[in-house]
Structure 1
Amino acid sequence: MTTPVTARDRAKAERTDAILLAAADLFGARGYSGVSLEDIGAAVGISGPAVYRHFAGKQALLGALLIGVSEDLVSGGAAVVSGASDDRSRMAALVDFHVDFALRNADVIRVQDRDLSHLTADSQDDVRRLQRGYIELWIDTLGTLVDAERDELRLRVQACFGLLNSTPHSTSAALRTRADTARVLAAMAMAALTAVG
């Protein structure tokens, strides 16, 4: 990603980010098919056709949203792992990273669960490739703590993602403070990942 140099470039980058946030919110609430480019444009104060200055269309916007989030997970997860001092703290840092992601990005998780099929085949391949990379990062990290075959480690990681990514579908998270929710989810995730048996 390049850093915008001029005020105009910065304004365009900020508008692009605002469009992505609005799309996540609207797609999360109403689904891809229930949202038009006019809806997204209106949410950021521009016309629907003006969205084309930033994205080739609604499908391209969905692709940018889901691919961008997947890239952020891979790069963020790698940074977290490289900054930890020992095996257990690496795993705990990854869990904390993903808990924070799940709590901040409930709309994106809903969109991923429901609307991935609306992407082009190439964009779906990109998302799946990035997700595999993120899963492998978790498997490699968990493998330092749990003596198990790689298939079992994958099962543990994917079950943990199921737990953490179910947060947007749960009303119970609204009954706690975010810090309380994060603490409970992190403890549950670590227990599930390292469970004996």
Structure 2
Amino acid sequence: MATPTRNRRAEILDAAAGLFAARGFHGVSIEDIGAAVGVSGPALYRHFRGKEALLGEILLDISARLREQGAATAALPPAEALSALLSGHIAFAVQHPELIRLHERELHNMPEQDRRQVRRSQRLYVEEWVNVLSDLHPDAPSARLRSAVHAVFGLINSTPRTAGELPPEQMAGLLERMARAALKVSAD
């Protein structure tokens, strides 16, 4: 069972993520975050060093979750692995467009060490996709596959711009069909 401190940390992280996504990192004060969870702003310092630490933990968690999801597909046959990668990333994007928006807008506001860790995790996640695609398209150059993966991430991560226009299940289906089409890469 989670401890009260862990629950409070999660509550603070969720509130901060929502506020940062809605108003931008610089548009949110520590007092705003405290008020969102029913405590004073300074009370947050019992859980986090400051706003930058909050942002760092939020964005590190996003990258870690996706990376773990990708790594979990390594033992699957390539077609199943691709389906798992697509459904996992699409589900995250459809369910959490505010976190995608936050990542796009605020990565540069993270402490440098955290930013490097996020980038490393992202590179490893991309390579999980490239490895699966290499198995499915053995004649395609890795650079082409990597470019296709980045293009698909751009497609899937466009959800903040269209959030609410389609029901989530329709959006997920549309994104999957489009992503699969984009991933049909050839060696030429």
- Range of TM-score over shorter length: over 0.9
RMSD: 1.4
Mapped to 2, the partners of 1:169 and 1:25 lie a distance apart of: 16
Aligned counterpart, 1:7: none
Select which of 157, 160, 171 maps to 1:165: 157
Aligned counterpart, 1:139: 130
Select which of 126, 139, 148 maps to 1:156: 148
SS of match in other structure, 2:38: coil
Task: Spell out structure 1 runs of 4+ moving beyond 2 A.
Answer: none
In structure 2, give the amino acid aligned to 1:179.
Answer: E
Equivalent pair of 1:37/1:49 in contact (CA under 8 Å): yes
Select which of 166, 175, 179 maps to 1:189: 179
Mapped to 2, the partners of 1:153 and 1:82 lie a distance apart of: 17
Mapped to 1, the partners of 2:118 and 2:91 lie a distance apart of: 20
Select which of 163, 174, 177 maps to 2:167: 177
SS of match in other structure, 2:39: coil
Q: Deviations over 1:104-128 (max 9, x none)?
A: 2211111111111111111110110
Q: Does 1:51 align with 2:41?
A: no
Residue correspondence of structure 1 range 117-128 to structure 2 within 5 A? 117-128=108-119
Taking only the aligned residue pairs, the percentage that are identical comes to: 44
Equivalent pair of 2:69/2:85 in contact (CA under 8 Å): no
Deviation at 1:177, TM superposition (A): 1.6
SS of match in other structure, 1:70: helix
Q: Deviations over 1:116-152 (max 9, x none)?
A: 1111111110110111111111111111112311111
Equivalent pair of 1:156/1:192 in contact (CA under 8 Å): yes
Gaps of 5+ in 2: none
* Count of matched residue positions in the alignment of Structure 1 and Structure 2: 186
Mapped to 1, the partners of 2:25 and 2:60 lie a distance apart of: 16
Gaps of 5+ in 1: 5-9
Mapped to 1, the partners of 2:32 and 2:80 lie a distance apart of: 44
Select which of 60, 66, 78 maps to 1:73: 66
Deviation at 1:46, TM superposition (A): 1.1
Equivalent pair of 2:145/2:185 in contact (CA under 8 Å): no
Mapped to 2, the partners of 1:23 and 1:103 lie a distance apart of: 20
Equivalent pair of 1:24/1:108 in contact (CA under 8 Å): yes
Q: Does 1:98 align with 2:89?
A: yes
Classify 1:150/1:83 alpha carbon distance in 2 versus 1 (closer, same or farther; 3 Å). Answer: closer
Mapped to 2, the partners of 1:195 and 1:67 lie a distance apart of: 31
Mapped to 2, the partners of 1:130 and 1:82 lie a distance apart of: 16
Aligned counterpart, 2:21: 28
SS of match in other structure, 1:73: helix
Deviation at 1:82, TM superposition (A): 4.0
